[in-house]
Structure 1
Amino acid sequence: MRIRWTTCAGIVITALLTLFLIVPVLLSVYAGLTVNYARGISAGFTLDWVRQVWGLYSDTVLRSLVVALLTLILTLLIGVPGAYALVRRGGRFARIVEEIVTLPVAIPGLALALAMILLYGGFGAFRQSTLFVVIGHVLFTLPFMMRSVIAILETIDWRTLDEGAASLGSPAWRRFVDVILPNVRPGIVAGALTVVTLSIGEFNLTWMMHTPMTKTLPVGLADAYASMRLEIASAYTLVFLVMVIPLLVGVQAVADLSEKRTKS
Protein backbone atom coordinates (compact mmCIF):
# COMPACT_ATOMS: atom_id res chain seq x y z
CA MET A 1 0.00 0.00 0.00
CA ARG A 2 1.53 3.28 -1.11
CA ILE A 3 1.91 6.05 1.42
CA ARG A 4 0.53 9.36 0.26
CA TRP A 5 2.92 12.25 -0.07
CA THR A 6 0.82 14.26 2.37
CA THR A 7 1.36 11.58 5.01
CA CYS A 8 5.12 11.60 4.42
CA ALA A 9 5.18 15.40 4.57
CA GLY A 10 3.26 15.34 7.83
CA ILE A 11 5.71 12.83 9.34
CA VAL A 12 8.71 14.88 8.23
CA ILE A 13 7.26 18.14 9.55
CA THR A 14 6.36 16.51 12.87
CA ALA A 15 9.87 15.07 13.20
CA LEU A 16 11.48 18.43 12.45
CA LEU A 17 9.26 20.23 14.96
CA THR A 18 10.04 17.56 17.57
CA LEU A 19 13.75 18.02 17.01
CA PHE A 20 13.32 21.79 17.14
CA LEU A 21 11.80 21.44 20.62
CA ILE A 22 13.93 18.62 22.02
CA VAL A 23 17.43 19.55 20.83
CA PRO A 24 17.67 22.74 22.98
CA VAL A 25 16.62 20.76 26.04
CA LEU A 26 19.16 18.03 25.34
CA LEU A 27 21.84 20.66 24.79
CA SER A 28 21.01 22.25 28.14
CA VAL A 29 21.20 18.87 29.87
CA TYR A 30 24.55 18.24 28.18
CA ALA A 31 25.86 21.59 29.43
CA GLY A 32 24.82 20.71 32.97
CA LEU A 33 26.83 17.49 32.91
CA THR A 34 30.09 18.79 31.42
CA VAL A 35 33.02 19.97 33.48
CA ASN A 36 33.39 23.00 31.23
CA TYR A 37 30.85 23.66 28.50
CA ALA A 38 33.22 25.92 26.55
CA ARG A 39 35.75 23.10 26.24
CA GLY A 40 33.10 20.56 25.30
CA ILE A 41 33.36 16.77 25.65
CA SER A 42 37.13 16.92 26.01
CA ALA A 43 36.70 18.44 29.48
CA GLY A 44 34.81 15.35 30.64
CA PHE A 45 31.53 14.87 32.45
CA THR A 46 30.61 15.42 36.08
CA LEU A 47 27.66 15.48 38.48
CA ASP A 48 29.21 18.21 40.64
CA TRP A 49 26.98 20.89 39.14
CA VAL A 50 23.88 18.83 39.90
CA ARG A 51 25.02 18.37 43.50
CA GLN A 52 25.61 22.10 43.84
CA VAL A 53 22.16 22.86 42.45
CA TRP A 54 20.55 20.41 44.85
CA GLY A 55 22.41 21.94 47.76
CA LEU A 56 21.37 25.46 46.77
CA TYR A 57 17.83 24.93 45.50
CA SER A 58 16.48 21.66 46.93
CA ASP A 59 13.94 23.64 48.95
CA THR A 60 12.38 24.98 45.74
CA VAL A 61 11.78 21.41 44.53
CA LEU A 62 9.79 20.49 47.63
CA ARG A 63 7.96 23.82 47.61
CA SER A 64 6.92 23.41 43.97
CA LEU A 65 5.51 19.96 44.73
CA VAL A 66 3.62 21.30 47.75
CA VAL A 67 2.24 24.24 45.75
CA ALA A 68 1.15 21.95 42.90
CA LEU A 69 -0.50 19.49 45.31
CA LEU A 70 -2.37 22.20 47.24
CA THR A 71 -3.41 23.85 43.98
CA LEU A 72 -4.76 20.54 42.70
CA ILE A 73 -6.70 19.86 45.92
CA LEU A 74 -8.30 23.33 45.93
CA THR A 75 -9.18 23.22 42.23
CA LEU A 76 -10.81 19.83 42.75
CA LEU A 77 -12.80 21.01 45.77
CA ILE A 78 -13.92 24.21 44.01
CA GLY A 79 -13.88 23.33 40.33
CA VAL A 80 -15.73 20.02 40.19
CA PRO A 81 -18.78 21.03 42.28
CA GLY A 82 -18.69 24.47 40.63
CA ALA A 83 -18.75 22.99 37.13
CA TYR A 84 -21.65 20.73 38.06
CA ALA A 85 -23.55 23.65 39.60
CA LEU A 86 -23.07 25.77 36.45
CA VAL A 87 -24.24 22.99 34.13
CA ARG A 88 -27.18 22.21 36.38
CA ARG A 89 -28.17 25.88 36.62
CA GLY A 90 -27.70 26.63 32.91
CA GLY A 91 -28.91 29.79 31.23
CA ARG A 92 -27.34 33.22 30.86
CA PHE A 93 -26.31 33.52 34.51
CA ALA A 94 -24.23 30.33 34.33
CA ARG A 95 -22.52 31.53 31.16
CA ILE A 96 -21.67 34.87 32.78
CA VAL A 97 -20.18 33.14 35.83
CA GLU A 98 -18.17 30.84 33.58
CA GLU A 99 -16.76 33.80 31.68
CA ILE A 100 -15.81 35.53 34.95
CA VAL A 101 -14.02 32.40 36.17
CA THR A 102 -12.14 32.21 32.85
CA LEU A 103 -10.91 35.84 33.04
CA PRO A 104 -7.63 35.03 34.90
CA VAL A 105 -6.51 33.02 31.86
CA ALA A 106 -6.93 36.03 29.58
CA ILE A 107 -5.20 38.43 31.98
CA PRO A 108 -1.36 38.43 31.90
CA GLY A 109 0.11 36.66 34.91
CA LEU A 110 2.03 39.77 36.00
CA ALA A 111 -1.16 41.85 36.01
CA LEU A 112 -3.04 39.21 37.99
CA ALA A 113 -0.20 38.95 40.52
CA LEU A 114 -0.04 42.73 40.88
CA ALA A 115 -3.78 42.86 41.55
CA MET A 116 -3.42 40.24 44.30
CA ILE A 117 -0.49 42.10 45.84
CA LEU A 118 -2.48 45.35 45.89
CA LEU A 119 -5.44 43.57 47.47
CA TYR A 120 -3.66 41.38 50.02
CA GLY A 121 -0.31 43.17 50.39
CA GLY A 122 -1.37 44.59 53.75
CA PHE A 123 -1.72 41.11 55.25
CA GLY A 124 1.97 40.57 55.97
CA ALA A 125 1.92 36.97 57.15
CA PHE A 126 -0.37 35.87 54.31
CA ARG A 127 1.58 37.86 51.72
CA GLN A 128 4.84 36.16 52.70
CA SER A 129 3.42 32.63 52.92
CA THR A 130 3.38 29.83 50.38
CA LEU A 131 -0.42 29.91 50.58
CA PHE A 132 -0.38 33.27 48.82
CA VAL A 133 1.35 31.67 45.82
CA VAL A 134 -1.08 28.75 45.98
CA ILE A 135 -4.09 31.08 45.76
CA GLY A 136 -2.59 32.71 42.68
CA HIS A 137 -2.09 29.31 41.06
CA VAL A 138 -5.66 28.33 41.89
CA LEU A 139 -7.03 31.45 40.21
CA PHE A 140 -4.95 30.69 37.11
CA THR A 141 -5.68 26.94 36.86
CA LEU A 142 -9.28 26.76 38.08
CA PRO A 143 -10.79 27.49 34.63
CA PHE A 144 -8.97 24.51 33.15
CA MET A 145 -10.42 22.14 35.74
CA MET A 146 -13.93 23.53 35.37
CA ARG A 147 -13.84 23.48 31.56
CA SER A 148 -12.67 19.85 31.55
CA VAL A 149 -15.52 18.77 33.83
CA ILE A 150 -18.11 20.88 31.99
CA ALA A 151 -17.05 19.34 28.68
CA ILE A 152 -17.73 15.84 30.03
CA LEU A 153 -21.04 16.82 31.61
CA GLU A 154 -22.22 18.24 28.29
CA THR A 155 -21.57 14.91 26.56
CA ILE A 156 -23.47 12.66 29.00
CA ASP A 157 -27.13 12.54 29.98
CA TRP A 158 -26.40 13.44 33.56
CA ARG A 159 -29.92 14.74 34.18
CA THR A 160 -31.50 11.33 33.50
CA LEU A 161 -28.96 9.66 35.77
CA ASP A 162 -29.58 12.21 38.50
CA GLU A 163 -33.35 11.93 38.26
CA GLY A 164 -33.12 8.14 38.31
CA ALA A 165 -31.09 8.20 41.51
CA ALA A 166 -33.46 10.78 43.01
CA SER A 167 -36.46 8.56 42.26
CA LEU A 168 -34.80 5.85 44.35
CA GLY A 169 -34.61 8.21 47.32
CA SER A 170 -30.95 9.22 47.04
CA PRO A 171 -30.20 12.66 48.58
CA ALA A 172 -28.51 15.37 46.51
CA TRP A 173 -25.02 14.93 48.00
CA ARG A 174 -25.19 11.17 47.53
CA ARG A 175 -26.23 11.56 43.87
CA PHE A 176 -23.30 13.87 43.28
CA VAL A 177 -20.79 11.48 44.88
CA ASP A 178 -22.16 8.16 43.57
CA VAL A 179 -23.57 9.17 40.17
CA ILE A 180 -22.00 12.39 38.88
CA LEU A 181 -18.38 11.98 39.99
CA PRO A 182 -17.84 8.50 38.48
CA ASN A 183 -19.24 9.70 35.15
CA VAL A 184 -17.05 12.82 34.98
CA ARG A 185 -13.88 11.01 36.07
CA PRO A 186 -12.15 11.44 32.67
CA GLY A 187 -12.71 15.19 32.82
CA ILE A 188 -11.40 15.33 36.39
CA VAL A 189 -8.24 13.42 35.50
CA ALA A 190 -7.64 15.53 32.39
CA GLY A 191 -8.15 18.69 34.44
CA ALA A 192 -5.81 17.40 37.14
CA LEU A 193 -3.09 16.74 34.56
CA THR A 194 -3.45 20.28 33.22
CA VAL A 195 -3.50 21.86 36.70
CA VAL A 196 -0.37 20.03 37.88
CA THR A 197 1.50 20.82 34.67
CA LEU A 198 0.61 24.51 34.73
CA SER A 199 1.28 24.90 38.45
CA ILE A 200 4.76 23.38 38.36
CA GLY A 201 5.80 25.34 35.27
CA GLU A 202 4.11 28.67 36.08
CA PHE A 203 6.66 31.51 36.14
CA ASN A 204 5.11 34.93 35.37
CA LEU A 205 2.53 34.83 38.16
CA THR A 206 4.90 33.23 40.66
CA TRP A 207 7.80 35.55 39.89
CA MET A 208 5.70 38.57 40.84
CA MET A 209 4.10 36.96 43.91
CA HIS A 210 7.03 35.10 45.46
CA THR A 211 9.29 36.22 48.28
CA PRO A 212 12.81 34.89 49.04
CA MET A 213 11.15 32.33 51.32
CA THR A 214 8.51 31.18 48.81
CA LYS A 215 10.62 30.64 45.70
CA THR A 216 9.50 27.81 43.39
CA LEU A 217 11.32 25.79 40.74
CA PRO A 218 10.73 28.07 37.71
CA VAL A 219 11.72 31.17 39.69
CA GLY A 220 14.82 29.43 40.99
CA LEU A 221 15.65 28.37 37.45
CA ALA A 222 15.44 31.97 36.25
CA ASP A 223 17.64 33.13 39.13
CA ALA A 224 20.18 30.42 38.33
CA TYR A 225 20.40 31.48 34.69
CA ALA A 226 20.72 35.13 35.69
CA SER A 227 23.31 34.82 38.46
CA MET A 228 25.14 31.48 38.14
CA ARG A 229 27.58 30.10 35.60
CA LEU A 230 26.08 28.28 32.63
CA GLU A 231 26.86 24.78 33.88
CA ILE A 232 24.99 25.29 37.16
CA ALA A 233 21.99 26.86 35.44
CA SER A 234 21.88 23.96 32.97
CA ALA A 235 22.16 21.46 35.82
CA TYR A 236 19.14 23.16 37.36
CA THR A 237 17.28 22.42 34.13
CA LEU A 238 18.27 18.76 34.49
CA VAL A 239 16.97 18.67 38.07
CA PHE A 240 13.74 20.28 36.89
CA LEU A 241 13.27 17.65 34.19
CA VAL A 242 14.10 14.76 36.53
CA MET A 243 11.42 15.97 38.92
CA VAL A 244 8.73 16.98 36.43
CA ILE A 245 8.83 14.24 33.78
CA PRO A 246 8.15 11.26 36.12
CA LEU A 247 5.37 13.25 37.78
CA LEU A 248 3.70 14.02 34.46
CA VAL A 249 4.14 10.44 33.25
CA GLY A 250 2.53 9.21 36.46
CA VAL A 251 -0.44 11.55 36.12
CA GLN A 252 -0.83 10.52 32.47
CA ALA A 253 -0.74 6.84 33.49
CA VAL A 254 -3.52 7.50 35.99
CA ALA A 255 -5.49 9.24 33.24
CA ASP A 256 -5.07 6.27 30.88
CA LEU A 257 -6.06 3.82 33.60
CA SER A 258 -9.13 5.90 34.41
CA GLU A 259 -10.11 6.02 30.74
CA LYS A 260 -9.80 2.23 30.43
CA ARG A 261 -11.95 1.69 33.51
CA THR A 262 -14.56 4.10 32.16
CA LYS A 263 -14.71 2.28 28.83
CA SER A 264 -14.92 -1.13 30.50
Structure 2
Amino acid sequence: MTHSRFDTRLGLAVTLAVTAFLIGPVLLSVSAGLTRNYFVGLDSGLTLKWVAQVWELYADTIWRSYAVALITLGVTLAIGVPAAWVLTLYPGRLARLLEELLTLPVAVPGLATALALIVSWGSVGWLRSSVAFIVIGHVLFTLPFMVRAARAGMQGSDLRTLDEAAATLGASHRQRFFDIVVPAARSGIVTGALTVVTLSIGEFNLTWLLHTPLTKTLPVGLADSYASMRLEVASAYTLVFLLMLLPLMIGLQWFAARSTRSGGLALGAST
Protein backbone atom coordinates (compact mmCIF):
# COMPACT_ATOMS: atom_id res chain seq x y z
CA MET A 1 0.00 0.00 0.00
CA THR A 2 2.84 2.38 0.90
CA HIS A 3 4.63 1.59 -2.35
CA SER A 4 1.44 2.30 -4.31
CA ARG A 5 0.98 5.67 -2.60
CA PHE A 6 4.59 6.59 -3.34
CA ASP A 7 4.14 5.76 -7.03
CA THR A 8 0.97 7.83 -7.14
CA ARG A 9 2.60 10.84 -5.53
CA LEU A 10 5.68 10.52 -7.74
CA GLY A 11 3.50 10.35 -10.84
CA LEU A 12 1.51 13.39 -9.71
CA ALA A 13 4.71 15.33 -9.00
CA VAL A 14 6.16 14.51 -12.42
CA THR A 15 2.88 15.48 -14.11
CA LEU A 16 2.77 18.81 -12.29
CA ALA A 17 6.41 19.51 -13.11
CA VAL A 18 5.91 18.78 -16.81
CA THR A 19 2.72 20.87 -16.85
CA ALA A 20 4.49 23.80 -15.20
CA PHE A 21 7.37 23.50 -17.66
CA LEU A 22 5.01 23.53 -20.65
CA ILE A 23 2.38 26.00 -19.49
CA GLY A 24 4.60 28.38 -17.54
CA PRO A 25 6.22 30.05 -20.56
CA VAL A 26 2.83 30.40 -22.24
CA LEU A 27 1.37 32.13 -19.18
CA LEU A 28 4.34 34.47 -19.00
CA SER A 29 3.93 35.35 -22.67
CA VAL A 30 0.20 35.97 -22.25
CA SER A 31 0.79 38.20 -19.23
CA ALA A 32 3.37 40.19 -21.23
CA GLY A 33 0.70 40.86 -23.85
CA LEU A 34 -1.60 42.34 -21.22
CA THR A 35 0.86 44.65 -19.47
CA ARG A 36 1.58 48.22 -20.50
CA ASN A 37 5.33 47.68 -20.28
CA TYR A 38 6.80 44.17 -20.14
CA PHE A 39 10.10 45.33 -18.63
CA VAL A 40 8.33 47.05 -15.75
CA GLY A 41 5.95 44.12 -15.26
CA LEU A 42 2.46 44.09 -13.77
CA ASP A 43 3.29 47.25 -11.83
CA SER A 44 2.93 49.17 -15.11
CA GLY A 45 -0.73 48.18 -15.24
CA LEU A 46 -2.91 46.00 -17.43
CA THR A 47 -4.18 46.95 -20.87
CA LEU A 48 -5.89 45.48 -23.94
CA LYS A 49 -4.18 47.98 -26.24
CA TRP A 50 -1.73 45.43 -27.59
CA VAL A 51 -4.47 42.89 -28.28
CA ALA A 52 -6.45 45.51 -30.19
CA GLN A 53 -3.35 46.41 -32.17
CA VAL A 54 -2.75 42.77 -33.06
CA TRP A 55 -6.34 42.37 -34.21
CA GLU A 56 -6.09 45.49 -36.34
CA LEU A 57 -2.83 44.38 -37.98
CA TYR A 58 -3.24 40.62 -38.24
CA ALA A 59 -6.96 39.75 -38.23
CA ASP A 60 -6.72 38.64 -41.86
CA THR A 61 -4.09 36.03 -40.97
CA ILE A 62 -6.43 34.51 -38.40
CA TRP A 63 -9.37 34.07 -40.77
CA ARG A 64 -7.03 32.89 -43.53
CA SER A 65 -5.60 30.22 -41.25
CA TYR A 66 -9.09 28.97 -40.44
CA ALA A 67 -9.97 28.88 -44.14
CA VAL A 68 -6.77 26.99 -45.03
CA ALA A 69 -7.35 24.50 -42.20
CA LEU A 70 -10.97 23.82 -43.17
CA ILE A 71 -10.17 23.44 -46.87
CA THR A 72 -7.25 21.17 -45.99
CA LEU A 73 -9.58 19.11 -43.82
CA GLY A 74 -12.11 18.76 -46.65
CA VAL A 75 -9.46 17.61 -49.13
CA THR A 76 -7.85 15.15 -46.72
CA LEU A 77 -11.26 13.67 -45.89
CA ALA A 78 -12.13 13.27 -49.57
CA ILE A 79 -8.79 11.60 -50.34
CA GLY A 80 -7.67 10.06 -47.08
CA VAL A 81 -10.77 8.12 -46.00
CA PRO A 82 -11.25 6.27 -49.33
CA ALA A 83 -7.48 5.65 -49.47
CA ALA A 84 -7.57 4.18 -45.95
CA TRP A 85 -10.46 1.92 -46.97
CA VAL A 86 -8.60 0.64 -50.04
CA LEU A 87 -5.49 -0.05 -47.95
CA THR A 88 -7.64 -1.91 -45.43
CA LEU A 89 -9.41 -3.99 -48.07
CA TYR A 90 -6.22 -4.97 -49.87
CA PRO A 91 -3.44 -5.44 -47.32
CA GLY A 92 -0.04 -6.63 -48.45
CA ARG A 93 3.29 -5.40 -49.75
CA LEU A 94 1.76 -2.91 -52.16
CA ALA A 95 -0.44 -1.44 -49.43
CA ARG A 96 2.54 -1.10 -47.10
CA LEU A 97 4.56 0.54 -49.88
CA LEU A 98 1.80 3.03 -50.63
CA GLU A 99 1.43 3.86 -46.94
CA GLU A 100 5.17 4.46 -46.65
CA LEU A 101 5.07 6.76 -49.67
CA LEU A 102 2.24 8.71 -48.04
CA THR A 103 4.39 9.31 -44.95
CA LEU A 104 7.31 10.78 -46.93
CA PRO A 105 6.13 14.41 -46.54
CA VAL A 106 6.16 13.89 -42.75
CA ALA A 107 9.68 12.42 -42.74
CA VAL A 108 11.06 15.11 -45.05
CA PRO A 109 11.60 18.60 -43.53
CA GLY A 110 8.81 21.02 -44.32
CA LEU A 111 11.19 23.43 -46.02
CA ALA A 112 12.29 20.67 -48.40
CA THR A 113 8.68 19.84 -49.29
CA ALA A 114 7.92 23.53 -49.84
CA LEU A 115 10.98 23.92 -52.05
CA ALA A 116 9.92 20.92 -54.12
CA LEU A 117 6.48 22.48 -54.62
CA ILE A 118 8.00 25.80 -55.64
CA VAL A 119 10.32 24.11 -58.14
CA SER A 120 7.44 22.05 -59.57
CA TRP A 121 4.59 24.56 -59.59
CA GLY A 122 6.10 27.92 -58.71
CA SER A 123 6.05 29.03 -62.34
CA VAL A 124 2.25 28.91 -62.38
CA GLY A 125 1.69 32.54 -61.45
CA TRP A 126 -1.89 32.44 -60.20
CA LEU A 127 -1.18 29.34 -58.08
CA ARG A 128 2.04 30.66 -56.56
CA SER A 129 0.35 33.84 -55.35
CA SER A 130 -2.82 32.20 -54.01
CA VAL A 131 -3.82 30.48 -50.79
CA ALA A 132 -4.34 27.30 -52.81
CA PHE A 133 -0.57 26.85 -52.94
CA ILE A 134 -0.44 26.74 -49.13
CA VAL A 135 -3.40 24.35 -49.05
CA ILE A 136 -1.55 21.93 -51.35
CA GLY A 137 1.41 21.95 -49.00
CA HIS A 138 -0.78 21.41 -45.95
CA VAL A 139 -2.60 18.51 -47.64
CA LEU A 140 0.70 16.80 -48.41
CA PHE A 141 1.79 17.25 -44.81
CA THR A 142 -1.44 16.22 -43.05
CA LEU A 143 -2.80 13.50 -45.37
CA PRO A 144 -0.75 10.69 -43.75
CA PHE A 145 -2.27 11.49 -40.35
CA MET A 146 -5.79 11.24 -41.76
CA VAL A 147 -5.07 7.97 -43.55
CA ARG A 148 -3.46 6.36 -40.49
CA ALA A 149 -6.21 7.47 -38.10
CA ALA A 150 -9.03 6.41 -40.44
CA ARG A 151 -7.35 3.08 -41.16
CA ALA A 152 -6.93 2.40 -37.45
CA GLY A 153 -10.66 2.93 -36.98
CA MET A 154 -11.45 0.62 -39.87
CA GLN A 155 -9.14 -2.15 -38.72
CA GLY A 156 -10.51 -2.05 -35.20
CA SER A 157 -14.10 -2.61 -36.35
CA ASP A 158 -13.52 -5.70 -38.55
CA LEU A 159 -15.06 -3.83 -41.45
CA ARG A 160 -13.79 -6.26 -44.06
CA THR A 161 -16.21 -8.89 -42.75
CA LEU A 162 -19.08 -6.41 -42.65
CA ASP A 163 -18.24 -5.22 -46.16
CA GLU A 164 -18.22 -8.74 -47.54
CA ALA A 165 -21.55 -9.47 -45.86
CA ALA A 166 -23.11 -6.33 -47.33
CA ALA A 167 -21.72 -7.17 -50.77
CA THR A 168 -23.35 -10.60 -50.68
CA LEU A 169 -26.65 -8.86 -49.94
CA GLY A 170 -26.29 -6.74 -53.09
CA ALA A 171 -25.08 -3.42 -51.64
CA SER A 172 -23.09 -1.26 -54.05
CA HIS A 173 -19.58 0.04 -53.33
CA ARG A 174 -21.02 3.48 -52.61
CA GLN A 175 -23.67 2.12 -50.22
CA ARG A 176 -21.15 -0.01 -48.36
CA PHE A 177 -18.72 2.87 -48.01
CA PHE A 178 -21.15 5.53 -46.75
CA ASP A 179 -23.57 3.29 -44.82
CA ILE A 180 -21.11 0.87 -43.20
CA VAL A 181 -17.50 1.97 -43.44
CA VAL A 182 -17.79 5.66 -42.55
CA PRO A 183 -20.17 5.25 -39.57
CA ALA A 184 -18.19 2.34 -38.10
CA ALA A 185 -14.84 4.14 -38.50
CA ARG A 186 -16.21 7.50 -37.38
CA SER A 187 -14.07 7.76 -34.25
CA GLY A 188 -10.86 7.25 -36.23
CA ILE A 189 -11.97 9.72 -38.88
CA VAL A 190 -12.80 12.38 -36.29
CA THR A 191 -9.44 11.80 -34.59
CA GLY A 192 -7.75 12.30 -37.95
CA ALA A 193 -9.78 15.46 -38.53
CA LEU A 194 -8.71 16.85 -35.15
CA THR A 195 -5.07 16.16 -36.01
CA VAL A 196 -5.34 17.70 -39.48
CA VAL A 197 -6.97 20.93 -38.27
CA THR A 198 -4.55 21.51 -35.40
CA LEU A 199 -1.49 20.71 -37.53
CA SER A 200 -2.68 22.97 -40.34
CA ILE A 201 -3.39 25.96 -38.10
CA GLY A 202 -0.05 25.68 -36.31
CA GLU A 203 2.17 24.69 -39.29
CA PHE A 204 5.02 27.15 -39.86
CA ASN A 205 8.07 25.66 -41.62
CA LEU A 206 6.34 24.71 -44.86
CA THR A 207 4.02 27.72 -44.84
CA TRP A 208 6.84 30.19 -44.29
CA LEU A 209 8.39 29.30 -47.66
CA LEU A 210 5.10 28.99 -49.55
CA HIS A 211 3.42 32.19 -48.39
CA THR A 212 3.50 35.60 -50.02
CA PRO A 213 2.97 38.99 -48.31
CA LEU A 214 -0.73 38.66 -49.14
CA THR A 215 -1.15 35.05 -47.97
CA LYS A 216 0.25 35.08 -44.44
CA THR A 217 -1.22 32.65 -41.93
CA LEU A 218 -1.35 32.75 -38.13
CA PRO A 219 2.09 31.24 -37.39
CA VAL A 220 3.77 33.34 -40.08
CA GLY A 221 2.11 36.48 -38.71
CA LEU A 222 3.26 35.49 -35.23
CA ALA A 223 6.88 35.20 -36.41
CA ASP A 224 6.54 38.52 -38.20
CA SER A 225 5.23 40.21 -35.07
CA TYR A 226 8.12 38.88 -32.98
CA ALA A 227 10.63 40.09 -35.58
CA SER A 228 9.26 43.57 -36.23
CA MET A 229 7.08 44.63 -33.29
CA ARG A 230 7.41 45.32 -29.57
CA LEU A 231 7.55 42.29 -27.32
CA GLU A 232 4.15 43.22 -25.88
CA VAL A 233 2.58 43.09 -29.36
CA ALA A 234 4.15 39.71 -30.10
CA SER A 235 2.95 38.37 -26.75
CA ALA A 236 -0.55 39.72 -27.40
CA TYR A 237 -0.46 37.86 -30.72
CA THR A 238 0.23 34.66 -28.78
CA LEU A 239 -2.82 35.40 -26.63
CA VAL A 240 -5.01 35.93 -29.70
CA PHE A 241 -3.61 32.74 -31.22
CA LEU A 242 -4.61 30.75 -28.13
CA LEU A 243 -8.05 32.36 -27.88
CA MET A 244 -8.77 31.41 -31.50
CA LEU A 245 -7.26 27.91 -31.36
CA LEU A 246 -8.33 26.54 -27.97
CA PRO A 247 -12.13 26.67 -28.53
CA LEU A 248 -11.70 24.88 -31.84
CA MET A 249 -9.52 22.17 -30.27
CA ILE A 250 -11.90 21.70 -27.33
CA GLY A 251 -14.88 21.48 -29.68
CA LEU A 252 -13.21 18.90 -31.92
CA GLN A 253 -12.08 16.82 -28.94
CA TRP A 254 -15.62 16.88 -27.53
CA PHE A 255 -16.98 15.78 -30.89
CA ALA A 256 -14.33 13.04 -31.14
CA ALA A 257 -15.23 11.70 -27.69
CA ARG A 258 -18.93 11.78 -28.51
CA SER A 259 -18.34 10.03 -31.83
CA THR A 260 -16.30 7.33 -30.10
CA ARG A 261 -19.10 6.65 -27.62
CA SER A 262 -21.86 6.66 -30.23
CA GLY A 263 -19.76 4.57 -32.62
CA GLY A 264 -19.14 1.99 -29.90
CA LEU A 265 -22.86 1.84 -29.07
CA ALA A 266 -23.81 1.49 -32.74
CA LEU A 267 -21.24 -1.26 -33.31
CA GLY A 268 -22.42 -3.11 -30.20
CA ALA A 269 -26.04 -2.88 -31.35
CA SER A 270 -25.18 -4.19 -34.82
CA THR A 271 -23.35 -7.21 -33.38
**TM-score (norm: length of structure 1):** 0.98
Aligned to 1:187: 188
Aligned-partner Cα distance in 1 for 2:262–2:157: 17
Q: Give the Å deviation of 1:103.
A: 0.5
Aligned to 2:64: 63
Q: How does 1:145-224 map to 2 (within 5 A)?
A: 145-224=146-225
Aligned to 1:231: 232
Q: Structure 1 stretches (4+) deviating beyond 3 angstroms?
A: none
Identity of aligned residues (%): 60
Letter in 1 for 2:133: F
Q: Give the Å deviation of 1:263.
A: 2.3
Deviations 1:193-242 (A, max 9, x none): 10011000000000011000110000000000011000000000000000
What's the RMSD between the two structures over aligned residues? 0.9
The alignment partner of 2:260 has SS state of helix
Which ranges of structure 1 fall in alignment gaps of 5 or more residues? none
Aligned to 2:105: 104
Q: Give the Å deviation of 1:123.
A: 0.2
Which ranges of structure 2 fall in alignment gaps of 5 or more residues? 266-271
Q: Give the Å deviation of 1:152.
A: 1.8
Aligned-partner Cα distance in 2 for 1:261–1:18: 31
Letter in 1 for 2:58: Y
Q: Give the Å deviation of 1:7.
A: 2.0
Letter in 1 for 2:13: V
Deviations 1:12-32 (A, max 9, x none): 011001000001000000000
Aligned-partner Cα distance in 2 for 1:16–1:160: 47
Letter in 2 for 1:231: E
Aligned to 2:39: 38
The alignment partner of 1:244 has SS state of helix
Aligned-partner Cα distance in 2 for 1:95–1:41: 56
Q: Give the Å deviation of 1:88.
A: 1.1
Letter in 1 for 2:167: A
Deviations 1:107-136 (A, max 9, x none): 000010000000001001101100100010
Aligned to 2:250: 249
Letter in 2 for 1:155: G
**TM-score (norm: length of structure 2):** 0.95
